[in-house]
Structure 1
């Protein structure tokens, strides 16, 4: 997404905004949704509502990218950013019911394995798509073709096949269409599961009372409070994440098709790491996953910062480490975050626990956008340094976490 906005606008601030919109959109509605669903035995209808809206938004993004000319790039950027935010918000609506259904369906000791397998399968598809389809859609013949194209020629795919690729922005429109198809498939599968029915609160409480309850939980539940501080510091460590690809294109002069390889490397590293994260979670606990991943947070920025000092012919190979380590940490954080959040949340108050935390984190979700504003003043290097320092703080916060699994009957906040 960042590569698309950068190519369309050449604006670092909008690149940062793109990186923030997904997080912000995903987080902001969750507290409101938690208030709507906490007292309801069945949460699946709200998942269906959120995912239906998400698929619709991606359809609009596809059509807008196909039919709005790049000469009117401000309109195209506006349509993309608005509906990208709405798609993320729709995903936020579906997250609370999704997490609650998963927590009711899978025992606590199996949750780390479930989330690691979920990430493994998703990353496997992402790697295949990144290596072949994304690189094909984004390559420019003047800057070289994908490595696998030579092998394709041996099977009779000639120049006419190479020339059939679409120009910008139609190539991205096809990629957005693939996103729409995959989101629809995931929606269709999950919507057909049988949701377990567990005890819930008797009635919906006023949202103001639920907000006070969230504040009370934050004050009295030390595990919850420490976890929120860990996630806040983790957001600041990711301030440079949307700028790794633009930095490589601008400073290392890599061709745009390399973005597909970056995606594939991150996905492949994530595939391998998910086996490791599932084992660590079951053997040593979810806290260990969060400590290890936070210890790795600083490496992508360090690699990016030091890559320019290497000989030109080594820079790109070395730079792949940014996305390899990023893929490892992203998968580790997703497995660790989701599992730890479910484990420390009592069943009756689980929607409030999740919704309140993610609403608080909206305040730091615009960190990448702030990074985009800072780039003209401190440069990419300054951004990488901020990320490294924040990563150290995140590691300290992770070390303060404790391994805890609350039973379904435990609903106190102490």
Structure 2
């Protein structure tokens, strides 16, 4: 009898957890949709290149996307584990994030390409606000995902996000291809993408508001001040010191990231509608690669995943440099395999490899840090790592300067050499598999304490 009486209570208690799981899946899918519609390395880099001849400004796009989102940590907002009211912070930041992109879309229609200077100024202001708001929104929403979705449902939520992320990548790619199909007035057409992203991000904020957050006591708030003051002590950890050097080289290898699509469009004559194919290839490659990386990490450790990801990233500039002469090779050209769009389609491989590499980095970076850092000091280690990477994130600006002075081939060669240095430094990483594995929820708890810049 007692068991029967307890069943309805258990069902009522589980209902918020089930609802939160559903909201978590919807929130993640909408967020992927919104972010992919305005992907910084492909969509926005091309957008800026269409209204400006400055490669420096093109390089500023991914720099803002990665570097600005870490600023909330400086204000003490990046670490609020267990803090009450996190949902409200995430929702309001999500609203501001959506509003910034909506304003950008409206400005695109109002200004058109007749006032490029005003359009560029509006773009960079609104995009900076967008990324700053993302920094404030991400941490509390990850906190809610970790603490208010039951452990047995968390893996389902993450798995569903992976599936829907790949689906959204295909949807976005098709949408971009259709919108840019005629190739006329591309800047104004991209304003439609901004408005679509506004709708997706607005819905994501609405879904976030629907999440049920049980009452909690105030948690502590940690800024970057303490971790930075402890930097000499943290750097005494040889494991971390080697990992920091590897991460710095790996992030520096992004020096040419926003210029691959510009090279394809300006130098190879890739039709602008195929940009949608590149977005889909990157997104699907990134999410589908989880099916490979996760078992590999479980069997062989995160060190190998990081090494393989670095190796793939190193090959990206090589592919960019090798594909055009390879497809123009007489053996291929004489067989009639080299028509006007063959090279454009072959260039898709660049973004598939890029997405697979990003997937491995995203999976193993934080997991490796959790394995090598002492448990009590993990937030400090993560904050110091993020502070260093936030500075390194502006390396595409240097890439823009190199491109303006020396050209595409020189820039891609530099990117390859930096990627090669990252591969070499990965050989110095320790394999921490002998350490006690960290539970999944503990990994998410660290993310709430120090959210790495997006991206």
TM-score interval for Structure 1 and Structure 2 normalised by the shorter chain: 0.7 to 0.9
Match of 1:386 in 2: 414
Match of 1:243 in 2: 259
Contact 1:27 1:361 in 2 (8 A): no
Change (3 A) 1:282 1:99: farther
| 2-structure distance, mates of 1:366, 1:78 | 19
- In the TM superposition, residue 352 of structure 1 has moved relative to its aligned partner by 4.2
SS of aligned partner of 1:381: helix
Match of 1:89 in 2: 132
Match of 2:308 in 1: 292
Change (3 A) 1:249 1:381: same
SS of aligned partner of 1:28: helix
2:62 is aligned, of 15, 19, 22, to 19
1:272 is aligned, of 282, 285, 288, to 288
| 2-structure distance, mates of 1:258, 1:60 | 27
2:390 is aligned, of 350, 356, 362, to 362
SS of aligned partner of 1:37: coil
Unaligned runs of 5+ in 2: 1-43, 329-337, 447-455
| 2-structure distance, mates of 1:394, 1:197 | 45
Match runs of 1:11-50 below 5 Å: 11-34=54-77, 37=80, 40=83, 43-50=86-93
| 2-structure distance, mates of 1:223, 1:276 | 26
Change (3 A) 1:65 1:82: same
| 2-structure distance, mates of 1:113, 1:223 | 33
Q: Which segment drifts farther, 217-226 or 106-115?
A: 106-115
Q: Which segment drifts farther, 113-122 or 64-73?
A: 113-122
| 2-structure distance, mates of 1:59, 1:111 | 32
Match of 1:183 in 2: 201
Q: Deviations over 1:217-258 (max 9, x none)?
A: 632444443333222111111111101111011221111111
| 2-structure distance, mates of 1:247, 1:6 | 10
- In the TM superposition, residue 389 of structure 1 has moved relative to its aligned partner by 1.4
- In the TM superposition, residue 78 of structure 1 has moved relative to its aligned partner by 0.9
Q: Which segment drifts farther, 68-77 or 284-293?
A: 284-293
- In the TM superposition, residue 108 of structure 1 has moved relative to its aligned partner by 10
Residue 333 of structure 2 is aligned to residue 316 of structure 1:
no
Q: Which segment drifts farther, 117-126 or 98-107?
A: 98-107
1:171 is aligned, of 189, 193, 201, to 189
Change (3 A) 1:97 1:351: farther
| 1-structure distance, mates of 2:305, 2:154 | 13
Match of 1:61 in 2: 104
Output the TM-score relative to the length of structure 1. Answer: 0.80
Match of 1:256 in 2: 272
| 2-structure distance, mates of 1:338, 1:182 | 28
Match of 2:399 in 1: 371
Change (3 A) 1:208 1:28: closer
Contact 1:112 1:278 in 2 (8 A): no
SS of aligned partner of 2:255: coil
Change (3 A) 1:26 1:341: farther
Match of 2:228 in 1: 211
Alpha-carbon RMSD across the aligned residues, in angstroms, is 3.4
Change (3 A) 1:183 1:337: farther
| 2-structure distance, mates of 1:108, 1:29 | 28
1:398 is aligned, of 423, 426, 435, to 426
Contact 1:34 1:355 in 2 (8 A): no
Match of 2:299 in 1: 283
Change (3 A) 1:323 1:204: closer
- In the TM superposition, residue 259 of structure 1 has moved relative to its aligned partner by 1.0
Q: Which segment drifts farther, 260-269 or 34-43?
A: 34-43
Contact 1:112 1:286 in 2 (8 A): no
| 2-structure distance, mates of 1:222, 1:197 | 41
Q: Which segment drifts farther, 351-360 or 171-180?
A: 351-360
Contact 1:24 1:362 in 2 (8 A): yes
Q: Give the count of matched residue pairs.
A: 384
- In the TM superposition, residue 2 of structure 1 has moved relative to its aligned partner by 0.7
Match of 2:176 in 1: 134
| 2-structure distance, mates of 1:205, 1:285 | 30
Contact 1:38 1:351 in 2 (8 A): no
Output the TM-score relative to the length of structure 2. Answer: 0.74
| 1-structure distance, mates of 2:122, 2:359 | 30
Match of 1:70 in 2: 113
